[in-house]
Amino acid sequence: MDKKTRLLYVDDEPAWRNIFRREISEDKRYEIKTADSGADALAVLNNWRADIVLTDLSMPGMDGIELLQHIHLLYPETFVLILTGVNSANEAVRAMKAGAYDYVLKPFDFTTLQMQLAKIIDHQQLSNQEAHEPDARFEQLIGRSPSMYQLFEGIRRIAPTNATVLIRGESGTGKELVAAAIHSRSSRCDKAFIPVNCAALTESLINSALFGHEKGAFTGADKRKAGFFEHAHGGTIFLDEIGDIPLQTQVALLRVLELGTFQRVGGIDTIQVDTRIICATNKNLEVAMREKTFREDLFYRLNVVTLNTSPLRDRAADIPLLANQFLRTSSQKHNKQIDLIAPGTLELLSAYAWPGNVRELKNAIDRAAVFSNGNTLLPEHLPPELLQAVSARHGKASAAQMTLDSTNLPEIEAAVIRRVLEDKNWNLSQAAEALGIARGTLYSKIKSYNIER
Ligand SMILES: Nc1ncnc2c1ncn2[C@@H]1O[C@H](COP(=O)(O)OP(=O)(O)OP(=O)(O)O)[C@@H](O)[C@H]1O
């Protein structure tokens, strides 16, 4: 018998969970679990890998989009469907932009839902047939540059311990993946891994989100609620953007680090948890300490074991590897068959400085995959800002020229020129400047390539 498809249904409203269970459990092709919050869903996923997650969009604490982002990062093979109200077209668009496979309107039409599920299952069967490249992969992290190998080695050594870890690095360099890898390689791996983006929580919400609250603690607190620390009991909590937490929360966090205890908001009972803490920051905490926005005692507590993620511009060797991996995922996501990155495109990718690091590369490839209509990613499919930045950086050796030199394909140069012209609204002077060539040269190239407005 075929393996059952695992569905995780996430909704804070019990009535909807019951309806879903009742309707779908009759279908023997599915194995179903439900969760009542984003944190609960992550706890379930940690030892029950769902094939498809259906999550409500608006939930307190971690909303559906935030949950979707964590799932993409931690369990890239899992498909996510977002549930939105019938009259919320904007929300559906937001969900799709965030990378949801599809959206489902509430109240459900179960026949449509079954069709959506069947489509995903077909997709998954296809992708399971594709070979996975085992090389240069460490958990979800990809890389073969020396600094990545050093990072993998660091993770290998500290994962089995209970040490608090501080991960430092620019935004988009994979700090959350590092935290997840530490958890996966620790003895806590069958318990929850709860990532928390501290910067996304307002000062009034952060304490109750982290430590939970008692009934009546504030307006709207109609029942007792466990916080992220309780959800992560036995497992690992990942506090991202730790440099952004308010001072009063820093005091409470210091106590958890020293004693393993805290109190829920509005509560008097002392709660004891066994939760490993991993933090990350892209801020300079030394400066924050000098400015008195980050406590010194907390810093020294956190800074016991530090791992650094390096910027993508310092490890160009990883760019083709990452780009090819992202292309596979994006091509599948957008129902395309793009299996090649043109040499000229790779050259441009390697010449760019990637201020947004791997996240920016992933988005650039995803966008290029949408624009591509053949089986190859060409320079013209790359974001115009990237082409301009490369030509500006290389002065006379413009993006178009580099492409031409490396591949000797005039059509690529023509495509790059067309792209820049469109971006500059056919202002020849600006386009020539962006391309790093003289206006006259641009004019003759437009003529010789027959580029028309
Ligand atoms: N080495 C890597 N291999 C594969 N994917 C990666 C790697 N590094 C980053 N990514 C991808 O880049 C994106 C950003 O990664 P992540 O969220 O872990 O970065 P971050 O350093 O935590 O960023 P921020 O500081 O903004 O929170 C994710 O989609 C992740 O999958």
Spatial contact of 323 and 342, defined as CB atoms under 8 Å apart: no
Closest ligand 1 atom number to CA of residue 318: 1
Query: Which domain does 25 fall in, by range?
Result: 5-129
pLDDT in tens, 53-96: 999 998 888 889 999 988 888 887 788 899 887 666 677 777 77
Q: What is the distance between the terminal CA atoms of the chain, rounded to a whole angstrom?
A: 59
Query: In testing the pocket of ligand 1, which one of 142, 176, 327 has its CB within 8 Å of the most ligand atoms?
Result: 176
pLDDT of residue 385: 85
How far away, in angstroms, is 41 Cα from ligand 1 center?
Answer: 21
Q: Is the CB of 92 under 6 A from ligand 1?
A: no
pLDDT bin (cut points 50, 70, 90) of residue 245 is very high
Q: Find the mean pLDDT for residues 161-182.
A: 96
Q: Is the CB of 169 under 6 A from ligand 1?
A: yes
303 in the same domain as 323: no
Report the CATH number at residue 70: 3.40.50.2300
Q: Is the CB of 279 under 6 A from ligand 1?
A: no
pLDDT bin (cut points 50, 70, 90) of residue 436 is low
Rounded Cα distance between 119 and 104, Å, is: 13
How far away, in angstroms, is 362 Cα from ligand 1 center?
Answer: 9
The shares of helix, strand and coil residues in the chain, as percent rounded to the nearest 5, are: 50, 15, 35
- For the cut 90, the answer to whether the pLDDT of residue 110 exceeds it is no
296 in the same domain as 209: yes
pLDDT of residue 127: 52
346 in the same domain as 303: no
Q: Is the CB of 436 under 6 A from ligand 1?
A: no
- For the cut 70, the answer to whether the pLDDT of residue 346 exceeds it is yes
Q: Find the mean pLDDT for residues 19-45.
A: 89
How far away, in angstroms, is 28 Cα from ligand 1 center?
Answer: 37
Query: In testing the pocket of ligand 1, which one of 137, 183, 358 has its CB within 8 Å of the most ligand atoms?
Result: 358
177 in the same domain as 52: no
Closest ligand 1 atom number to CA of residue 178: 18
How many structural domains are present in the chain?
3
Q: Find the mean pLDDT for residues 429-453.
A: 80
pLDDT in tens, 117-150: 887 777 666 455 443 444 588 999 999 888 999 9
- Closest to 39 in 3D by CA, of 15, 57, 20, 59: 59
ipTM: 0.98
Cα distances from 208 to residues 32, 38, 70, 188, in angstroms, run 30, 15, 21, 25
pLDDT of residue 373: 81
Q: Is the CB of 142 under 6 A from ligand 1?
A: yes
pLDDT of residue 271: 92
Q: Is the CB of 358 under 6 A from ligand 1?
A: yes
358 in the same domain as 260: no
Contacts of 304 (CB under 8 A, 6+ apart): 163, 164, 166
The verdict on residue 453 lying in a domain is: no
Spatial contact of 185 and 156, defined as CB atoms under 8 Å apart: yes
Closest ligand 1 atom number to CA of residue 240: 27
- For the cut 60, the answer to whether the pLDDT of residue 223 exceeds it is yes
**Average per-residue pLDDT for the chain:** 85
149 in the same domain as 283: yes
Name, of 288-302, 316-330, 340-354, the range with top average pLDDT.
288-302
Rounded Cα distance between 60 and 77, Å, is: 26
pLDDT bin (cut points 50, 70, 90) of residue 394 is low
299 in the same domain as 240: yes
Question: What's the pTM?
Answer: 0.72
346 in the same domain as 268: no
pLDDT of residue 2: 63
pLDDT bin (cut points 50, 70, 90) of residue 158 is very high
pLDDT bin (cut points 50, 70, 90) of residue 379 is confident
pLDDT of residue 415: 66
- For the cut 50, the answer to whether the pLDDT of residue 345 exceeds it is yes
332 in the same domain as 201: no
Q: Is the CB of 62 under 6 A from ligand 1?
A: no
Last residue of a domain, one of 278, 310, 342: 310
The verdict on residue 209 lying in a domain is: yes
Q: Are strands 102-106 and 79-85 parallel, antiparallel or unpaired?
A: parallel
336 in the same domain as 281: no
Last residue of a domain, one of 84, 111, 129: 129
Last residue of a domain, one of 310, 343, 368: 310
How far away, in angstroms, is 91 Cα from ligand 1 center?
Answer: 25
Report the CATH number at residue 330: 1.10.8.60
Residue of minimum CA distance from atom 8 in ligand 1: 174
The verdict on residue 12 lying in a domain is: yes
pLDDT of residue 399: 47
296 in the same domain as 340: no
How far away, in angstroms, is 60 Cα from ligand 1 center?
Answer: 25
221 in the same domain as 335: no
Mean pLDDT lowest for which of 95-109, 369-383, 400-414? 400-414
Mean pLDDT lowest for which of 1-5, 234-238, 278-282? 1-5
Report the CATH number at residue 234: 3.40.50.300
Rounded Cα distance between 337 and 327, Å, is: 10
